[in-house]
Structure 1
């Protein structure tokens, strides 16, 4: 048994090389820290590794690979294989998905956000748009409607938004501007320092981000019912890397998406259940905007929608079609539940 034939040695070496060839290791660029916003990526990585017997693994990095505003650029050149980004960080680079950031679209649950996002992601115009960056849309990072935390005296009417400096991106920023606020698009990682230093008076985030980026720690008040809209943040993969995957690895990745999204939804539901306790622990006052004020704000959204359709149509996008797709998908999702 001490001596192996040449044939046997060759067979062992051949199997070894085949094993190496089958191994796939991807780098994933996120930012901040692990939080509800990134839980689906971790679940996806675990599911893929399990399904492939450890042959397909993902190294998840929080800021070590790229700045969050440059993740799409990194994907385009193959600096890493997977990344998360938010449409509002660079609207000119991904105009098609900015339809999902329009204010007062009517989306009210995370499940609805998943439905409309994936419908838009699957549209040929959206895929071509992101294809310019060698990016393939994999799944969304559904977030609830944004609300404000602020310092100082509570702003519980639209008149008090005049001159308010607010961290808000995309359509939410445009909506705030329509009532006299001054939006700024500092990144989520910069929001705490901007608020603490008085660069902004208020920050628009979903609940998980107020927690993760600690804006809730220095807040005096929180608007519990403003709900102007949300931000759309896809997970994308480098198209070349995706196409180069062995067939079984590609199938494992695709099959893991639904489970990852469900894990995200379940985890976020637990966070929302704790939110009341978070406000109470930190002594944050809950502010309710009157219904008539909200109706007035919603009216301001209509011209923003019309302007988006006009601008994107002029750029060659089927803007009306994408906008209508959001509305029909929303109606179909509700009819099926």
Structure 2
């Protein structure tokens, strides 16, 4: 009887260890709070847990694992397995994907932004660029065109932007500089304080971020159609952690990406944008719409010079910059036909 019990106990213990060994738990580093910008990550975690019957789970942290500008560094050393970051936060670390942040590319929908981003992410030069950080690009966080919320006198012409301090990163910052604005790069979580203290007079964000980070609380104006561009904020995974996943868990993860992105786009279009207009109205924020001639002048001043400079500097880095630029602009042109 004792021998039987010992064998039974050993078998049970072995099964427990085997079950534990099959379970996977990933830490995910985001920032701020749960919002439209993070809904695809939340949905991905939900889908993966469902498909693996709870054997693969994700612990999503909003700022508890890393500063948002250090998420790529954390991925590189395996401090956590998944993270979100924005290319413009550290263009020197991920120069290949900053092509997606060039001003006035002409991307018109979140679906188009998703398709183009995924094509760029799969380009061999981009894969190699992110491999330096032990990172595999998983999916984008598609965002609409950015516009400005500001305090004080509203700019009615491009000339009114001269000397205006504005929070704007990446290509948007470069574009604003061409019309005399003074761009400052800072993380989203720092923006409200900078705006309240007068360090910046305007902030460039997508609508969800203006609501999430409180920039509309003391704002007096909003540009409806400046549309200088957007930022590219991918979700990446630690490559070694991805490679170590059992086949079924890897399939659950990769096979859930499109569903998570579809959910994200629907959420952004139907919930975030539906709330944006009323949020402006409730606070009496003036909508500023620029004429076609003003927008054309802005595009002429910013678009071509920014693209030329990007291609030259990144060709010098050893990237196939012209090829990447042509990939993006070619997809946009093809969709417009």
TM-score (norm 1): 0.97
Q: Which piece of structure 1 moves more, 268-277 or 223-232?
A: 268-277
For residue 283 of structure 1, give the secondary structure of its aligned residue in structure 2: coil
Unaligned 5+ runs, structure 2: none
Q: Which piece of structure 1 moves more, 5-14 or 43-52?
A: 5-14
Q: 1:324 aligns with which of 278, 303, 326?
A: 326
**TM-aligned CA distance change 1:257 to 1:334, over 3 Å:** farther
Counterpart mapping for 1:171-210 below 5 A: 171-210=171-210
> In the TM superposition, what is the alpha-carbon distance from 1:7 to its structure 2 partner?
3.8
Aligned residues: 335
Distance 1:224 1:70 in 2: 32
Match of 1:60 in 2: 60
For residue 141 of structure 1, give the secondary structure of its aligned residue in structure 2: coil
Match of 2:287 in 1: 286
> In the TM superposition, what is the alpha-carbon distance from 1:15 to its structure 2 partner?
1.7
TM-score (norm 2): 0.97
Cα-Cα RMSD: 1.3
1:122 aligns with 2:96: no
- Indicate if the aligned counterparts of 1:36 and 1:208 stay in contact, CA closer than 8 A: yes
- Indicate if the aligned counterparts of 1:115 and 1:330 stay in contact, CA closer than 8 A: no
> In the TM superposition, what is the alpha-carbon distance from 1:6 to its structure 2 partner?
4.1
**TM-aligned CA distance change 1:160 to 1:251, over 3 Å:** same
Q: Which piece of structure 1 moves more, 2-11 or 17-26?
A: 2-11
Distance 1:142 1:43 in 2: 15
Distance 1:4 1:294 in 2: 83
1:113 aligns with 2:123: no
Match of 2:306 in 1: 304
Distance 2:207 2:9 in 1: 59
> In the TM superposition, what is the alpha-carbon distance from 1:218 to its structure 2 partner?
1.1
Q: Which piece of structure 1 moves more, 164-173 or 12-21?
A: 12-21
Distance 2:160 2:129 in 1: 39
Match of 2:137 in 1: 137
Distance 1:334 1:75 in 2: 37
> In the TM superposition, what is the alpha-carbon distance from 1:4 to its structure 2 partner?
4.1
> In the TM superposition, what is the alpha-carbon distance from 1:284 to its structure 2 partner?
0.5
> In the TM superposition, what is the alpha-carbon distance from 1:145 to its structure 2 partner?
0.2
Residues 84-129 of structure 1, C-alpha deviation per residue, up to 9 Å, x if partnerless? Answer: 0000000000000000000000101111110111110000000100
For residue 319 of structure 2, give the secondary structure of its aligned residue in structure 1: coil
For residue 105 of structure 1, give the secondary structure of its aligned residue in structure 2: coil
Q: Which piece of structure 1 moves more, 6-15 or 148-157?
A: 6-15
For residue 136 of structure 2, give the secondary structure of its aligned residue in structure 1: strand
Counterpart mapping for 1:52-91 below 5 A: 52-91=52-91
